[in-house]
Structure 1
Amino acid sequence: MKQNVVVATHHKTGTVWMSTVFKAIARRLGANYVDFWSHYGRLDRVLKTPFILMNHNSIFARHASELRREDVRILHLIRDPRDVLISAMHYHKKADEPWLHERISGSHESSYQQRLNSLATMYEQYVFELENATGSTIEAMLDWQYDRPNCLEVRYEDLWSDRSLSLWRQAASTLGFEGSELEVCEKCFWDHSLFGQASRANRRHARSGEAAQWKSEFTPELAEAFVHRFPDALQALGYEEDDRWIESLTVWPKLQAQGCTAR
């Protein structure tokens, strides 16, 4: 490796996918794989070159200087916020992550997961998620600095459709892998992708890796709630040019069957 690599993702934008891929790459190439938040307080001591540093929420706080190192290349991965909302809501309803089972601040009775599951309709569950955990994720995607010269910006959707691995090979090369290292990167990507030879553990974690799930989940009402909360997010992230996508939601799909009525 001629460069150290920083992988910056966001919740439900392919974090588990990228972590398994890059763990495998680090293992095969003898690089030092470091989970950012597990080593936050002692990062200066554990970052031994060559390293691959994984940050699951792309917030670097007092370690932001690591992104400006001349020997670092960054892969930053985003996803359509509408699909992030869908994936996160369903995941948070049943996941066993500790924070989901801690009492909500100001509440003496319920945890985040309990509160989410107590809501009567999927519409209410989505809005709760949008105003809380997923809202923070979307804000983090919007707050990212997108003009870093050493950063490769990639969309989850593009990687998901990259069955020929052409985009992945280009990304690996940009990150500084070369020669036989590129072959290792290609094999690790294929072995740990849901459309390739993904492990059973990865398949259990993922509800669905498909892109544009929002087209079959969003109702006009949910779309309006989304745009009210994040009026310019889709445009800022390059997923829509305007709000005309709402007009395409002519069919009331799953939410209506779950008790979502006009309000």
Structure 2
Amino acid sequence: MSAARFLCVGTHHKTGTVWLRRTLHRIMERQGIPLMQINRAKRIADLPEHGPQIVVNWSSGYPPEVFALPEARFIHVIRDPRDVLLSGARYHEKAPLGNENFLKKQRPEWGGLNYKDYLKSLETPQEKLLFEMENKHASTLFEMLAWPYGHPSAVELRYEDLMEDHECRQFRSALERCAIQGLDIDGAVQAFWDSSLFGGLKKEGERPNRIVNHVTSGTGAEAQWRTKMPRSVARRYAARYGSALAALGYAEDDSWVDLCPEDEALAEAQEAVAAK
């Protein structure tokens, strides 16, 4: 293998993109390593001939030509799709239109409303989740499945594991495996911790609203579907995306559906919380 110079980091919508973006920008600022985004093969010509380079793609849709670069190493982050659904539906009701271009697009089948306003117009949590499931979530899940798993130059990480790893061992291990020349790994791990909800952003006053609103509960806790996904939605999800969950290693079968709360019980619990 050629010496590694290009640290390519790929995420997906609602899988830790804000966290990794802040991390990589801190690395750029502190270590002087340039950062660029590559969505098309023609951008390869802009890569430097010498020295390290950070290369991002926030849908993990790197062109095949990037994967073929002998100097490229990849870190790929996914998240339990069921939690992606919950986080996405919540975020898309509140996100500023400038944050995501797809939220602004008006469509006739939505009565001329844009994505955000149509989602907000739906009356029940179940309707909102089903709408999200068939729209933005579907494209995000397709992107996750399209990644070339098993690529010899790539390290696979899961958002929920990173959130539980307060010592940042997994992120450090990924960087060590990538072995990017010119990258200070200790400094990069510090940037990762500084950008985390359990580290540098732990104090509420230090967490910008856009970070708090970018996760379902404001904590990024794992397996939120166990307490927040109505069972009626879970059944639909399993029928539609059960094979995708299995392919990504998040569920062997559909038995997880029975772990989700019944719709009425969930509604009562949410009403009790709101009444406090």
Q: Secondary structure at the match of 2:185?
A: helix
Q: Is residue 232 of structure 2 the alignment partner of residue 221 of structure 1?
A: yes
Q: Is residue 66 of structure 2 the alignment partner of residue 55 of structure 1?
A: no
Measured at CA, do residues 173 and 156 of structure 1 come closer, stay the same or move farther in structure 2, by a change above 3 Å?
same
1:72 maps to 72
Q: Which has the higher mean CA deviation after the structures are superposed, 144-153 or 163-172?
A: 163-172
2:214 alignment partner AA: A
Q: Deviation at 1:177?
A: 4.3
Q: Deviation at 1:257?
A: 6.7
Q: Which has the higher mean CA deviation after the structures are superposed, 196-205 or 216-225?
A: 196-205
The answer to whether the 8 Å contact 2:242/2:253 transfers is no
Residues of 1 paired with 2:110 and 2:258: CA distance?
Answer: 39
Q: Deviation at 1:144?
A: 1.4
Cα deviations across residues 172-200 of structure 1 (Å, max 9, x unaligned)? Answer: 11121479812101210110001000253
The answer to whether the 8 Å contact 1:10/1:77 transfers is yes
1:237 aligned to which of 248, 254, 262: 248
Residues of 1 paired with 2:183 and 2:44: CA distance?
Answer: 30
Q: Which has the higher mean CA deviation after the structures are superposed, 143-152 or 199-208?
A: 199-208
2:64 alignment partner AA: A
1:161 maps to 164
1:193 alignment partner AA: S
TM-score (norm 1): 0.88
1:203 aligned to which of 192, 198, 211: 211
Q: Deviation at 1:169?
A: 1.4
The answer to whether the 8 Å contact 1:7/1:75 transfers is yes
Cα deviations across residues 147-191 of structure 1 (Å, max 9, x unaligned)? Answer: 210000111111111112211211111121479812101210110
Q: Deviation at 1:19?
A: 1.0
2:147 maps to 144
Q: CA RMSD in A?
A: 2.4
1:189 maps to 192
Structure 2 residues not aligned, in runs of 5+: 272-276
TM-score (norm 2): 0.84
Q: Is residue 114 of structure 2 the alignment partner of residue 103 of structure 1?
A: no
Measured at CA, do residues 250 and 106 of structure 1 come closer, stay the same or move farther in structure 2, by a change above 3 Å?
closer
Cα deviations across residues 206-263 of structure 1 (Å, max 9, x unaligned)? Answer: 333111111111122111110121121111111112111112235545456789xxxx
2:274 maps to none
Q: Secondary structure at the match of 1:231?
A: helix
2:103 alignment partner AA: L
Q: Deviation at 1:36?
A: 3.0
Q: Deviation at 1:4?
A: 1.1
Measured at CA, do residues 41 and 205 of structure 1 come closer, stay the same or move farther in structure 2, by a change above 3 Å?
farther
Residues of 2 paired with 1:177 and 1:53: CA distance?
Answer: 12
2:17 maps to 15
Give the number of equivalent residue pairs: 255
Cα deviations across residues 70-103 of structure 1 (Å, max 9, x unaligned)? Answer: 1010001100000000000011111123321220
Structure 1 residues not aligned, in runs of 5+: none
Measured at CA, do residues 231 and 191 of structure 1 come closer, stay the same or move farther in structure 2, by a change above 3 Å?
same
Percent of aligned pairs with the same amino acid:
35
2:89 maps to 89
The answer to whether the 8 Å contact 2:10/2:74 transfers is yes
Q: Secondary structure at the match of 2:94?
A: coil
Residues of 1 paired with 2:182 and 2:110: CA distance?
Answer: 56
Residues of 1 paired with 2:213 and 2:41: CA distance?
Answer: 28
1:175 maps to 178
